[in-house]
């Protein structure tokens, strides 16, 4: 768990200062509401998390609090305040009016590639900042990538985030194997202690496929997903989805997906490597005139 000095005594705010205007989502970890301040009608999003006993003993609550209080970047959701009641925590944060990338894309399947390119660029910037701050997110999925009304990406949901190094500078190997199965790296699915940053890179590869095709190559039970990963079935996925959509994805983009989806952890790029590669892609078009091949780089 990420440690934190945040205490209930330090909290002088009141949840009555906010009025719920809309239910946004029932999260598995907490419910999300759109709220406004009673005093001046300012709009925020509120994540309401129930707890029992000491909330400081709940790693997911403490991870979220630590990250939102420490991470300040234009592509990370901005914390407004945290209110601690006796059995609930209210996390008041900026409201992302276009909600999550997965919900947004359902209604905007015709979004041009240069827009999708920008969304992925911003996601990469947010992840680079986290990794620079020695934090891995571990639950990077389109449902945790939020969009403001001006289409600025805001990474959210830091319940599974971890520090990547111990205080004495040793790399942290994670031993909790959770997250959205479709986005989990093979080392997580096979339940081997794993380094969290490369696992984020895997999730970014799957997220990129989602941005292109609005679906992901790996679905189902953990053991089935792992089998599919080891058979590299994402390539078949790209071929069949491209055929159905009548497009040919640029070789450069396929190469980037391929690098993120390397089973061998050490062979995956760092976030800086990935950004360098991504910046080299012309953002104008998704299409290429030639058929792609995997691993031709």
Ligand X SMILES: Nc1ncnc2c1ncn2[C@@H]1O[C@H](COP(=O)(O)OP(=O)(O)OP(=O)(O)O)[C@@H](O)[C@H]1O
User: Which H helix or E strand runs over 206?
Assistant: helix 196-213
Per DSSP, the chain holds a count of helices (H) and strands (E) of: 9, 9
Q: Looking at beta carbons, which residue is closest to ligand X?
A: 27
Q: How far apart (Å, rounded) are the C-alpha atoms in residues 98 and 142? A: 12
Nearer to ligand X, 105 or 263 (CB): 105
- Does position 25 interact with ligand X (CB under 6 A)? The reply is yes
CB of 56 to ligand X, least distance (A): 19
- Does position 201 interact with ligand X (CB under 6 A)? The reply is no
95 to 124: interface string for ligand X, x by CB under 6 A = xx--xx--x---------------------
Measured CA distances, 158 to 76, 91, 170, 213, 219 (Å): 10, 12, 22, 26, 23
Residues sharing a CB contact under 8 Å with residue 248, sequence separation 6 or more, in sequence order: 242, 287, 288, 289, 290, 291, 292
Q: Are strands 18-26 and 31-37 parallel, antiparallel or unpaired?
A: antiparallel
Using DSSP's 3-state secondary structure scheme, residue 89 falls into strand
Nearer to ligand X, 135 or 254 (CB): 135
Sign of CA dihedral 78, 117, 101, 179: negative
Q: How far apart (Å, rounded) are the C-alpha atoms in residues 58 and 55? A: 5
Nearer to Mg ion, 30 or 269 (CB): 30
Token pair for residue 38?
């009673």
# residues contacting ligand X (CB under 6 A): 22
- Does position 179 interact with ligand X (CB under 6 A)? The reply is no
- Does position 157 interact with Mg ion (CB under 5 A)? The reply is yes
Q: Which stretch binds ligand X (CB under 6 A): 143-151, 165-173, 220-228, 232-240?
A: 143-151
The only residue of 122, 144, 207, 235 in contact with Mg ion, by rule CB under 5 A = 144
Among Mg ion, ligand X, none, what does residue 288 contact (CB within 5–8 Å per kind)? none
- Does position 24 interact with ligand X (CB under 6 A)? The reply is yes
Instruction: Please tell me which residue in 139, 157, 200, 228 is annotated as part of the active site.
Output: 139
The only residue of 35, 45, 76, 204 in contact with ligand X, by rule CB under 6 A = 45
The only residue of 67, 89, 92, 93 in contact with ligand X, by rule CB under 6 A = 93
Q: Are 33 and 15 in contact (CB under 8 A)?
A: no
67-86: which residues touch ligand X (CB under 6 A)? 77
User: Which H helix or E strand runs over 152?
Assistant: none
- Does position 143 interact with ligand X (CB under 6 A)? The reply is yes
CB of 89 to ligand X, least distance (A): 12
CB of 210 to ligand X, least distance (A): 14
Beta-bridge partners for 44:
35
User: Which H helix or E strand runs over 45?
Assistant: strand 43-50
Q: Is 71 exposed, middle or buried (0-12, 13-18, 19+ CB in 10 A)?
A: buried
Q: How far apart (Å, rounded) are the C-alpha atoms in residues 151 and 101? A: 10
Q: Active site includes 139?
A: yes
Q: Which stretch binds ligand X (CB under 6 A): 67-75, 88-96, 246-254, 271-279?
A: 88-96
Which residues in this chain contact Mg ion in the complex, by CB under 5 A?
Answer: 144, 157
Which residues in this chain contact ligand X in the complex, by CB under 6 A?
Answer: 24-25, 27-30, 32, 45, 47, 77, 93, 95-96, 99-100, 103, 143-144, 146, 156-157, 159
- Active-site residue numbers? 139
């Amino acid at each position: 768990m990420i440690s934190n000095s945040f205490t209930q005594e330090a909290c002088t705010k009141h949840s009555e200062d906010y009025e719920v205007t809309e239910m946004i989502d029932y999260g598995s970890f907490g419910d999300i509401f759109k709220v406004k301040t009673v005093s001046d009608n300012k709009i925020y999003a509120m994540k309401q998390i129930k707890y029992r006993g000491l909330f400081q003993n709940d790693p997911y609550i403490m991870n979220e609090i630590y990250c939102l209080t420490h991470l300040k970047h234009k592509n990370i959701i901005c914390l407004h305040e945290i209110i601690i009641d006796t059995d609930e925590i209210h996390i008041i944060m900026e409201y992302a009016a276009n909600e999550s990338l997965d919900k947004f894309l359902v209604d905007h399947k015709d979004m041009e590639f240069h827009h999708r390119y920008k969304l992925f660029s911003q996601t990469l910037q947010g992840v680079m900042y986290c990794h620079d701050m020695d934090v891995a997110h571990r639950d990077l999925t389109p449902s945790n990538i939020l969009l403001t009304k001006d289409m600025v990406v805001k990474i959210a949901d830091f319940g599974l985030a971890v520090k990547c190094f111990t205080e004495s500078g040793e790399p942290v190997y994670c031993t909790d194997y959770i997250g959205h199965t479709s986005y989990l790296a093979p080392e997580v699915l096979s339940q081997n202690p794993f380094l969290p940053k490369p696992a984020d890179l895997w999730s970014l590869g799957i997220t990129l496929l989602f941005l292109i095709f609005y679906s992901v190559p790996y679905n189902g039970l953990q053991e089935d997903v792992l089998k599919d990963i080891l058979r590299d079935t994402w390539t078949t996925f790209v071929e069949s989805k491209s055929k159905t959509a009548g497009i040919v994805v640029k070789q450069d983009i396929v190469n980037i997906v391929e690098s993120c989806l390397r089973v061998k952890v050490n062979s995956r790029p760092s976030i800086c490597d990935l950004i360098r590669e991504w910046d080299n892609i012309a953002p104008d078009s998704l299409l290429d005139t030639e058929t792609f091949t995997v691993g031709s780089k």
